[in-house]
Amino acid sequence: MSTRAFIQDLAGLGGQEVELRGWLAGRRTGGKLVFALVRDGTGVCQCVVEAKTAEAFAASEKAPLESSVIVRGVPRLDERAPGGVELSVAAFSVLQGAEDYPIARKEHGIDFLMNHRHLWLRSARQTAILKVRHTIISAARRFFDERGFILTDTPIFQPGAAEGAGSLFPVEYFGDRVYLAQTGQLYLEACAMALGRVYCFGPTFRAEKSKTRRHLTEFWMIEPEIAYAELPDLMELAEAFICRLVEAALAERREELKRLERDLAPLERIAPPFPRITYTEAAELLRGDAVHARLTEELERDRARLAADAERLAALERERAAEKKAWKQEKLDREIAALRDDLREREADLANRPAHIESARNFKWGDDLGGDEETILTRQFDRPVIVTRYPRECKAFYMKPAPDDPRVVLNMDVLAPEGYGEIIGGSQREDDLDALRARMAGEGMDPAPYEWYLDLRRYGSVPHGGFGLGIERTVAWICGLRHIRETIPFPRLMGRMYP
């Protein structure tokens, strides 16, 4: 009798016969041997089938890729095998034979892959990303749980806007118009007045009409909210929180990060204290000569690198044209496709850079910090930077103006390094009834759907605040992904609803 085993546990099971249940992920044949790569979600195992086990040999030799398979055999430690263990196969059966799996080991453009996202998820790269995502979410929950925060769930159907009317998704609700949540925050403030320290974690929705590599229309946000807290408390908490997420990813997902070819050195540098600058200082930095010189230099350097890589591509293409061996052709095709995608994106980025450099130089106090400005700012620091005190016009109605300068609010954005930009937005909240009403009136907001929110300022109001961290942007940064679309199993973007 063999016991069912998961590939991740095989190393401890040497000698006993086990049964693996998974999918055929790859195969090499060498004369009297078939090397079948079987994956089961926990890992990949090289299963060695000898010609003398005739039935198993025949089945493993002809099963199409991505067939579901059940394999019996004895694990053997072998340094040469991927994962360090291989299985000497006694029986190999195909549960369902997959004919013509659409994602072959050859070139596929991003559109093709996105249309086959339900299958693309099976690839080693995608499963690595999803595992890092899992660890980040799990560490985020543990972080707040250990500190005594209470998880409170906030509604997804909401009567009004919290983050600007421009990005609301309306929903028909029994004849009324309501909206999908842009944030749980307003409700979370009510929970904080009941429980002191709370957090929510759920899907949030923004009708972002921008097709950028940072924007989803549906994303997951984890938001703490704290009674009797002021801006410095929030900054300290955000700093400890981010450090914890990076630590967890490095400790628990090193393998996956390596598979993603993430350079670990910049992550290993993440430690408190994070630099803290005000919006006004950020604006001066952007306009300054030092940044200008550095950006121009980086642009030249990246242009030279692009040219060098374009030559490398041409060389690979020549090598491919001359190659006779099928497996080597496949390998080269993959390399060429990846490099081509990479070059295309870098070229587009480089084409935009001169305009960004110019707009940074002309940045005016009062402009919002957009993605491009954030990218430039974060390149000036080797760890996340906390930017505080933005002009009130740039920010949401609920933020509290600074007592010493009412033109700015007591807010913070945390920008991730290496050009990733904002991963956290938060603030101290306006806790004074009259001030909040005046601000809402100034924004032309109808107070009716917010009466309950104003009640929080009528009955035992206290200084309080919180922040929201976008899970997908954090995963993109920690995994070192250029685009946010790979950080969530089924991304919702402007112009993408399938699958």
Instruction: Give contact residues for Mg ion (rule: CB under 5 A).
Output: 425
Q: Of 221 and 267, which CB lies nearer to ligand 4AD in the complex structure?
A: 221
Residue numbers 221-280 binding ligand 4AD by CB under 6 A: 221, 223
Query: Which tokens hold the place of 442?
Result: 């100034």
Phi, psi of 167, rounded to the nearest 5 degrees? -120, 30
3-class secondary structure for 368-435? CCCHHHHHHHHCCCCCCEEEECCEHHHCCCCECEECCEEEEECEEEEEECCCCEEEEEEEEECCCHHH
Q: Of 162 and 260, which CB lies nearer to Mg ion in the complex structure?
A: 162
Return the range that interacts with ligand 4AD (CB under 6 A); candidates 101-109, 348-356, 418-426, 434-442: 418-426
377 touches 394 (CB < 8 A): no
The entry of Mg ion, ligand 4AD, none that residue 223 binds, CB within 5 to 8 Å by partner kind? ligand 4AD
Question: If DSSP codes are grouped into helix, strand and coil, which group holds residue 179?
Answer: strand
Return the range that interacts with ligand 4AD (CB under 6 A); candidates 10-18, 108-116, 212-220, 432-440: 212-220
Q: Is 485 in the site for ligand 4AD (CB under 6 A)?
A: no
User: Could you tell me the smallest distance in angstroms from the CB atom of residue 424 to Mg ion?
Assistant: 8
The entry of ligand 4AD, Mg ion, none that residue 127 binds, CB within 5 to 8 Å by partner kind? none
Q: Is 478 in the site for ligand 4AD (CB under 6 A)?
A: no
207 touches 168 (CB < 8 A): yes
> Cα dist. 398→233, 391, 406, 424 in Å?
18, 13, 14, 16
Name 93's Cβ contacts closer than 8 Å, sequence gap at least 6: 59, 69, 70, 71
Q: Of 86 and 374, which CB lies nearer to ligand 4AD in the complex structure?
A: 374
Q: If you ran DSSP here, which 8-state letter would residue 50 be given? A: E
The rounded distance, in Å, linking the Cα atoms of 455 and 437 is 11
Q: Of 219 and 274, which CB lies nearer to ligand 4AD in the complex structure?
A: 219
Count the residues of the shown chain that bind ligand 4AD, applying the rule CB under 6 A: 22
Residue type, 11: A
Give the residue, chosen from 22, 384, 470, 491, that forms a contact with ligand 4AD under the rule CB under 6 A.
470
Give the residue, chosen from 117, 215, 356, 389, that forms a contact with ligand 4AD under the rule CB under 6 A.
215
Q: What distance lies between CA 259 and its chain's CA centroid?
A: 16
Give the residue, chosen from 67, 127, 135, 183, that forms a contact with ligand 4AD under the rule CB under 6 A.
183
Q: Of 25 and 416, which CB lies nearer to ligand 4AD in the complex structure?
A: 416
Return the range that interacts with ligand 4AD (CB under 6 A); candidates 68-76, 306-314, 320-328, 469-477: 469-477
The entry of ligand 4AD, Mg ion, none that residue 466 binds, CB within 5 to 8 Å by partner kind? ligand 4AD
> Cα dist. 191→116, 389, 452 in Å?
41, 26, 12
Give the residue, chosen from 66, 426, 479, 486, that forms a contact with ligand 4AD under the rule CB under 6 A.
426
Return the range that interacts with ligand 4AD (CB under 6 A); candidates 211-219, 304-312, 367-375, 441-449: 211-219
- The position carrying tokens 């421009």 is 166
Neighbours of 54 (CB within 10 A): 9
In angstroms, what is the C-alpha Rg of the chain? Answer: 27
Give the residue, chosen from 466, 481, 488, 493, that forms a contact with ligand 4AD under the rule CB under 6 A.
466
Return the range that interacts with ligand 4AD (CB under 6 A); candidates 128-136, 168-176, 254-262, 461-469: 461-469
Residue type, 15: G
User: Could you tell me the smallest distance in angstroms from the CB atom of residue 162 to ligand 4AD?
Assistant: 6
The entry of Mg ion, ligand 4AD, none that residue 472 binds, CB within 5 to 8 Å by partner kind? ligand 4AD
Give the residue, chosen from 75, 417, 425, 491, that forms a contact with ligand 4AD under the rule CB under 6 A.
425
Query: Which tokens hold the place of 269?
Result: 């540098």
Number of residues that make up the chain: 499
- The position carrying tokens 């390094």 is 417
Q: Of 384 and 425, which CB lies nearer to ligand 4AD in the complex structure?
A: 425
User: Could you tell me the smallest distance in angstroms from the CB atom of residue 223 to ligand 4AD?
Assistant: 4
The rounded distance, in Å, linking the Cα atoms of 81 and 359 is 52
Query: Which tokens hold the place of 188?
Result: 């979370």
- Rounded to 5, what percent of the chain is helix, strand, coil? 45, 25, 30
User: Could you tell me the smallest distance in angstroms from the CB atom of residue 349 to ligand 4AD?
Assistant: 19
The entry of Mg ion, ligand 4AD, none that residue 152 binds, CB within 5 to 8 Å by partner kind? none
Give the residue, chosen from 92, 179, 199, 219, that forms a contact with ligand 4AD under the rule CB under 6 A.
219
Burial 134-147 (b: 16+ CB within 10 A, else e): ebbbebbeebbeee
Contact positions vs ligand 4AD (CB under 6 A): 162-163, 183, 185, 206, 208, 215-216, 219, 221, 223, 422-426, 466-468, 470, 472-473
